[in-house]
Chains A and B, each alone.
Chain A
Amino acid sequence: MCAYMWAPPFSAVSTMELLSDQGLRVDGRRAHELRNVECRLGVFGRADGSAYLEQGNTRVLATVYGPHEARAAQRRHDVASINCQYRQAVFSGWERGRRAGGGGDRRAQELGALLQNTLESVVLVELYPRSQIDVYVQVLQADGGTYATCVNAATLALIDAGVALRDYVCACSASVLRDQPLVDLNSLETSGAPELTAALLPRSGRLPLLEMSQRFHVDKLGELLDVAETACRDVHTILNRAVRRHVSARSSEK
């Protein structure tokens, strides 16, 4: 149907331009700097838990329903089952994406399953036998690091719903460009460099998720993991602050 497309505003950016000689990135950040993070908990009154998270231009909404009685197919007698859905709005990218639903979007299904695995490692599922927790994330605008932002938003929504968690799960993307490790990539950098998404449980220091795209040299991995871990800890500080602010605002309301 679409016969002509015009290129997005950034079509060909070489890796040279992604990192200036002064060590500044395309959006003016330094290599270890995160983008501006804005988050809000309890944005929707009708859901059991909800959170909105904005990381640079990536905007994500997460909603949690449950724990509630599980449907027969998902019921497990000893633990809760976690049901995740990842959706990306068709207008979220520079090019219009494929319509969701109808099983058309494989990548969304994969990310949903990945999110489920990540969250299963952190929710105290044994406290809610025979029940189900639904976590739905909706990407409203995607500008790199979408999956990491979804994990962070889902954590906040679970906290807002009062689901018992072992720890926060904090995720961040990282990359290496001209021997320089970078964190929290935007979409421009994602197109020009390999991307590693890591999720961290800050208290135990364990990584429930590690995913990479494109190849890079294995010697770089150690350094990259260190950088990603630091970034995840930074994210944790931000999320923790938001949760505390939200809780104190709630308690002063009452």
Chain B
Amino acid sequence: MAADMRAIQPESLYKLHLECEERPDGRKLDAARTTVVTRGGITTADGSAFCRSGHTSVLCGIKAEVCTPATDAPPDRGWVVPNLELPALCHHRFRPGPPSEAAQTASAQLLQLLDASGALDRTQLCIEAGQAVWVLYCDLICLSHDGNVLDVALLALSAALTDLRLPSAEWDATEERLRVKPAQRTPLKLGPLPLAATLAVFDKETLVLDPAGDEEMLCEASVTVAWAGDSMVLLDKTGGCELSLEAMDRCIALSKKRSLELKKLLDCCTQSGEVEKGE
């Protein structure tokens, strides 16, 4: 019965769920899905992390490369290049082909979030000013898509950055060449990492944390709030309906709570290096 109704009238069914304050997957409205972080699974990458939240999984691998800074760029700063892929593998709706608009937007948003948070001082990536700097290619692959990819991708990116170990490199001024020792590796010094929480809006004021794929399709609007420590780095509301200031305040409070949970999760995994679970 429920399956029929889900196919024919998904919206009415979901409204019924909201009236009972329980979502189709059994969660409360302000509960996130079980989130798992695993670091360092990919040994060919300089840093890697795998994050799963419900049925959404993102794998992030970071490769560090050396390059000469462009003449119009600051000579003593490296770059970070995040790139999120949404391959056909992750959802039946996606088709093989060039990167979709959604993937490109998310990649740009990840870079913006990382810059805004100030988590990574890019002067750390400088080997010799004007001669050689590190470029961190952060490639994120969405392996399974069930809503809220940006939050999971950002968590994966943050976790991979904590896992990153850069090879020690020195600039030999006399020979004008670079000496890299891949065996000696050091972690980066990182500030508070950006962590995001997304809420879906139904009926202009009902807020649902960590929307799954179906909820993302049905919702009227979605609000993403990202935090780095105590400061807000992104507030993004997309979608049609207007939102009262009171609802916005609740969004901010809920996202803050969620980002603290995620931070705890990230800290656990930073210490033990292995899998940790959290709500």
Q: Point out residues on A near B: beta carbons under 8 Å.
A: 1-6, 9, 44-48, 57, 59, 61, 63, 65, 68, 83, 85, 87, 89-94, 96, 99-103, 134, 136-138, 140-143
* A63 to B43 alpha-carbon distance, docked (Å): 23
The verdict on B257 contacting chain A, using a C-beta distance below 8 Å, is no
From A2, A83, A140, give the contact of B67 (CB < 8 A).
A2
Chain B, residues 19-61, CB within 8 Å of chain A (1/0): the string is: 0000000000000000000000011110010000001010101
* A102 to B145 alpha-carbon distance, docked (Å): 22
Closest to A7 in B: B182
Pair A6/B180 contact, Cβ less than 8 Å: yes
* A83 to B96 alpha-carbon distance, docked (Å): 10
Report if A89-B98 is in contact (Cβ < 8 Å); known contacts: A45-B55, A140-B59, A142-B44: no
* A116 to B153 alpha-carbon distance, docked (Å): 31
Pair A3/B67 contact, Cβ less than 8 Å: yes
Pair A91/B48 contact, Cβ less than 8 Å: yes
* A134 to B68 alpha-carbon distance, docked (Å): 42
- Distance between B267 CB and nearest chain A CB, rounded to angstroms: 25
Which 3 A-B pairs have CB atoms at the shortest separation, nearest pair first? A91-B61, A136-B89, A91-B45
- Distance between A2 CB and nearest chain B CB, rounded to angstroms: 5
* A83 to B97 alpha-carbon distance, docked (Å): 13
Pair A138/B143 contact, Cβ less than 8 Å: yes
CB contacts between A and B, total, < 8 Å: 107
Closest to A62 in B: B89
The verdict on B92 contacting chain A, using a C-beta distance below 8 Å, is yes
Instruction: Please give, as numbers and ranges, the residues of chain B lying within 8 Å of A68 by CB-CB distance.
Output: 92
From B99, B132, B178, give the contact of A101 (CB < 8 A).
B99
Pair B144/A44 contact, Cβ less than 8 Å: yes
Main secondary structure of the interface of A (DSSP, over half): loop
Pair B57/A44 contact, Cβ less than 8 Å: yes
From A46, A48, A85, A89, give the contact of B96 (CB < 8 A).
A85
Pair B62/A100 contact, Cβ less than 8 Å: no
Closest to B91 in A: A46
Main secondary structure of the interface of B (DSSP, over half): strand
Closest to A135 in B: B89
Range of interface residues on chain B?
35 or more
From A91, A134, A138, A142, give the contact of B63 (CB < 8 A).
A91
Report if A91-B62 is in contact (Cβ < 8 Å); known contacts: A3-B67, A96-B137: yes
Instruction: Please give, as numbers and ranges, the residues of chain A lying within 8 Å of B178 by CB-CB distance.
Output: 4
Instruction: Please give, as numbers and ranges, the residues of chain A lying within 8 Å of B91 by CB-CB distance.
Output: 46
* A94 to B180 alpha-carbon distance, docked (Å): 15
* A140 to B144 alpha-carbon distance, docked (Å): 14
Pair B98/A3 contact, Cβ less than 8 Å: no
The verdict on B85 contacting chain A, using a C-beta distance below 8 Å, is yes
Report if A44-B83 is in contact (Cβ < 8 Å); known contacts: A6-B182, A138-B143: no
* A4 to B90 alpha-carbon distance, docked (Å): 35
The verdict on B276 contacting chain A, using a C-beta distance below 8 Å, is no
Instruction: Please give, as numbers and ranges, the residues of chain A lying within 8 Å of B213 by CB-CB distance.
Output: 46
Chain B, residues 135-151, CB within 8 Å of chain A (1/0): the string is: 10101010111100000
Pair A91/B85 contact, Cβ less than 8 Å: no
Pair A138/B66 contact, Cβ less than 8 Å: no
From B48, B55, B88, B98, give the contact of A44 (CB < 8 A).
B55
Pair A89/B66 contact, Cβ less than 8 Å: no
Instruction: Please give, as numbers and ranges, the residues of chain A lying within 8 Å of B67 by CB-CB distance.
Output: 1-4
The verdict on B82 contacting chain A, using a C-beta distance below 8 Å, is no
Pair A46/B146 contact, Cβ less than 8 Å: yes
Closest to A142 in B: B44
Instruction: Please give, as numbers and ranges, the residues of chain A lying within 8 Å of B194 by CB-CB distance.
Output: none
Instruction: Please give, as numbers and ranges, the residues of chain A lying within 8 Å of B92 by CB-CB distance.
Output: 47-48, 65, 68, 134
Pair A92/B83 contact, Cβ less than 8 Å: no
